């Protein structure tokens, strides 16, 4: 439920795809969500990637999948 709320809530797959940006852009975007209740630090993207890698996925499997995706995807999940 949490991942859905973070990544696909209100997503319209018919919308044109925006350029992915960079880690600074992703951080500002995350920090702008729910501004009255947001306490995301400047390391929020890396913190989530670290947690997912450490507790939710097989690191080798994740690396295999990331190798098939654009370079920015690997950057997003770098911890």
User: Per residue of the chain (79 residues), what is the pLDDT tens digit?
Assistant: 566 666 677 778 888 877 788 999 999 999 999 889 999 999 999 999 999 889 988 989 999 999 999 888 888 888 7
Give the range of the structural domain holding residue 72, as residue numbers without chain letter. Answer: 20-76
Residue 5 domain flag:
no
Q: What is the pLDDT of residue 32?
A: 94
Residue 68 domain flag:
yes
Q: Please give the distance of CA 18 from its chain centroid, rounded to a whole number.
A: 15
Count Cβ atoms within 10 A of the Cβ of residue 44 and give its class: 0-12 exposed, 13-18 middle, 19 or more buried: middle
DSSP category for residue 69:
S
How long a stretch of residues is the chain? Answer: 79
Residue 10 domain flag:
no
Q: What is the pLDDT of residue 20?
A: 85
Q: What is the pLDDT of residue 19?
A: 78
Q: What is the pLDDT of residue 40?
A: 94
Specify the number of domains making up the chain.
1
Residue 39 domain flag:
yes
């Amino acid at each position: 439920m949490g991942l859905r709320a973070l990544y696909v809530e209100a997503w319209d797959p018919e919308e044109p795809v925006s350029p992915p940006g960079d880690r600074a852009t992703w951080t500002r975007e995350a920090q702008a969500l729910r501004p009255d209740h947001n306490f995301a630090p400047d390391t929020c993207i890396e913190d989530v990637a670290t947690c997912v890698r450490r507790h939710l996925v097989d690191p080798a499997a994740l690396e295999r999948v990331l190798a098939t995706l654009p370079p920015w995807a690997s950057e997003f999940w770098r911890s």
